Every structure is written in structure tokens, then in C-alpha cells.
């Protein structure tokens, strides 16, 4: 479960880039976070994961405050950031073992998880290569594996499908559904609205730092009284903002 309460953030003297955001993602939900470029999606995710401090409000991960008890809250998060270009001088296996060390994953468990996930995402043959030699898609796969290694209850994924080949994209979407079926949470941002329409249990639309809509795709259609695609409804909602 992830909950944001009255969260606001501004950079220097600018207006709020996140303006009084209130949002709750329950266990058992895939929640799609949608918005145009610069709407506040990545800033929100960075505050949810403790990378950025919020100016006002608080964020709770399984009822644990990210501001008051950050280490305990972060243990319950698996993050895939929007940029996969990290630790480029490390080998893939060194990066995964580093992440496993951070989260106190046992040797037996990490060997099992790394083997299964690297085979699933088809990068087992390059784990002894440096990350700088990886393509963008391979780096993305490595970060996804790292985020899932410690089996966190809450997955927070910033544009996780970017650069993935069709098979890996299918596998990740399958894993997301399996994860929430175990009463866990998946929060992900995406620009691929067709994926959000088919995959998400609930959708949130943000623009100019304000949450414009939260609910199911069917609730959106009922609210706007139009039986259109998510892409078309999305455009109407942000147009009116």
C-alpha cells in the first residue's frame, strides 16, 4: 500500500511542481500514473522513494512514513528509475550482488533469483560484461532484475517498458499481474496509453503538478460520458486543465 497525503514540492522560488497531491494505491492494484512531459510524474516518484524531500505532506509505504522512518520504508520498495545508465563501470553481476547486499538478500536466495530473472529477461549470458557495453534495453532489464531481487511488496516503476523488446515487455507485464495477485502493489508511470488501458486496475492523470483524475478506465468513460479509448479520454482531460 502506498499513500500520499497533502504532498507539495517546489524548486527554488518557482510555483509548486507538485501541488497538494493526495493519492492512495491499495494492495492488489496495478496503478498507472499518466501525464505529459513535465507534469510531475518523475518528481512524485522520487519523493515516494525518498530520493527527493517534499516541502509539505508525507508519504507512507505500508503505513511507514518515508520521512520519519526512511530506511524501513525503502526496504519495502523496488524502484526502476527513468534512466538506466547507472554504475556503468560495474559488471552486471557486480551490480546485482551490490543491490542484494544493500537489501540483505541471502547468498542462496540471490543466486536463485538472479538465475531465474536473468533467464526470463534473457541477459544471463552478459552478466559478466560491464554495464557500459549493454544496450539501453539490456540496462533496463538489469535494473528491473535489481528492483525485484529482494521481493519487495511495492514496485515503483518509472517508464519500465521503455527500450524493452516485445518478449521482455510481455514478461514484465505478466510479473506485474502476478505480483498484485499476491496482494502487493505496482505503481508505474508510462506514456504508452494502450498498455495502461489494458493492464491497469486504476489510473491517475497528473498535469502541472495537480491530480486531475483517479479511478478505473470505465469510471473515466462514465465521467466523461464517452466510450472512447484511454488515449482519447486522456487528451480531453489534459486539454481542459
Per-residue pLDDT reduced to its tens digit, 115-143? 999 999 999 999 999 999 999 999 999 99
Confidence label for 45 from pLDDT (cuts 50, 70 and 90): very high
To 10 degrees, the CA torsion angle through 37, 42, 44, 47? Answer: -160
The CA distances from residue 131 to 30, 89, 90, in Å, are: 30, 6, 6
Q: Which three three-digit cell numbers place residue 141? A: 532489464
**pLDDT of 12:** 75
What percentage of the chain has pLDDT greater than the value 70?
99
Residue 13 has pLDDT above 90, yes or no: no
Order across the sheet with 56-61: list the strands: 16-25, 2-10, 56-61, 64-65
Q: DSSP assignment of 8-54, as one string?
A: EEESTTSPEEEEEEEEEE-TTEEEEEE--TTSSHHHHHHHHTTSS--
Confidence label for 19 from pLDDT (cuts 50, 70 and 90): very high
**pLDDT of 11:** 84
**pLDDT of 199:** 95
Confidence label for 57 from pLDDT (cuts 50, 70 and 90): very high
Q: pLDDT tens digits, residue range 171-197? A: 999 999 999 999 999 999 998 999 999
Element (H, E) at 56: strand 56-61
**pLDDT of 16:** 81
Give the chain's mean pLDDT.
94
Calculate mean pLDDT across residues 49-74: 96
**pLDDT of 241:** 63
Amino acid at each position: 500500500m502506498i499513500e500520499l497525503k497533502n504532498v507539495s514540492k517546489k524548486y527554488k522560488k518557482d510555483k509548486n511542481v507538485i501541488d497538494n497531491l493526495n493519492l492512495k494505491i491499495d494492495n492488489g492494484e496495478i496503478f498507472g500514473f499518466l501525464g505529459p512531459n513535465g507534469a510531475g510524474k518523475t518528481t512524485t516518484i522520487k519523493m515516494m522513494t525518498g530520493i527527493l524531500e517534499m516541502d509539505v505532506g508525507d508519504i507512507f509505504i505500508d503505513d511507514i512514513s518515508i520521512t520519519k522512518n526512511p530506511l524501513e520504508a525503502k526496504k519495502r520498495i523496488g524502484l526502476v528509475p527513468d534512466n538506466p545508465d547507472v554504475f556503468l563501470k560495474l559488471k552486471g553481476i557486480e551490480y546485482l550482488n551490490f543491490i542484494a547486499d544493500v537489501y540483505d538478500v541471502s547468498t542462496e536466495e540471490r543466486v536463485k533469483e538472479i538465475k531465474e530473472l536473468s533467464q526470463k529477461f534473457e541477459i544471463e549470458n552478459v552478466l559478466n560484461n560491464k554495464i557500459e557495453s549493454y544496450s539501453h534495453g539490456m540496462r533496463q532489464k538489469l535494473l528491473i532484475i535489481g528492483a525485484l531481487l529482494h521481493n519487495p511488496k511495492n514496485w515503483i516503476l518509472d517508464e519500465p517498458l521503455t527500450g524493452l523488446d516485445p518478449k521482455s515487455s510481455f514478461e514484465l507485464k505478466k510479473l506485474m499481474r502476478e505480483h498484485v495477485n499476491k496482494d502487493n502493489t505496482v505503481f508505474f508511470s508510462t506514456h504508452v496509453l494502450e498498455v495502461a488501458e489494458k493492464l491497469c486496475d486504476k489510473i491517475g492523470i497528473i498535469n502541472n503538478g495537480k491530480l486531475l483524475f483517479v479511478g478505473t478506465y470505465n469510471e473515466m468513460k462514465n465521467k466523461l460520458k464517452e466510450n472512447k479509448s484511454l488515449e482519447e479520454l486522456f487528451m480531453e482531460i489534459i486539454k481542459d486543465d
